[in-house]
Amino acid sequence: MIKGKKTYQNIGFVLGLSVLITLVNYTINPVASKALPHNNILAFELENPIDSPEIDLPFPFKDGIGNPDEKNSGGLYLDNPSNVEKGFEYDPDTENYNYYEKVGGKSIKYPTYMDFEEYINYDSKKSLQKYWKEKAAADDINQTKGFRPTLTIKSKTFDRLFGGNTS
């Protein structure tokens, strides 16, 4: 009984230590993108005037400011239509990567920017997510790489039960 209690204490210690390490790591190197809106929001609003007055919705929700990491899709938010262009443009004057969402060449959300390091972190995170999505979507065993031995069993009972050998 004492051995079980000590085991639970060890598990609690390891979990507490891992949570502490995770929190310290996150405070030192946060994962979230720091895409910030440009300072000149007034110019954006002058270029793209509001076409209707403010309406108090019974269930209000915000559309966001144009951050590339926004999770506003599906459900009440709906998905963006196919004519919405999203992407990054490099600005050599400021040495920033500007994220945009446009329809017909006009911005529909506030432009945001990232410096080189933030853009590299964002791009590597997206590439890793895409890689694992493709790996998970590999529904055919032939699409996955790895060791697959061939199996040959010479038995009438095996043939009767399972329909033959597999290779």
CA distance 14 to 87: 42
What Rg, from alpha-carbon coordinates, does the chain have?
A: 26
Closest listed residue to residue 122, CA positions, set 90, 94, 88, 91: 88
| Dihedral sign (CA 46, 48, 52, 54) | negative
Q: Does residue 134 register a pLDDT over 90? A: no
pLDDT band at 125 (very low <50, low <70, confident <90, very high): very high
Q: Is the whole model's pTM more than 0.85, yes or no?
A: no
The mean pLDDT of 13-24, rounded to a whole number, is 79
What pLDDT shows up at residue 124?
93
Q: Are 66 and 109 in contact (CB under 8 A)?
A: yes
Closest listed residue to residue 91, CA positions, set 57, 67, 119: 119
Q: Are 64 and 46 in contact (CB under 8 A)?
A: no
Q: Does residue 136 register a pLDDT over 70? A: yes
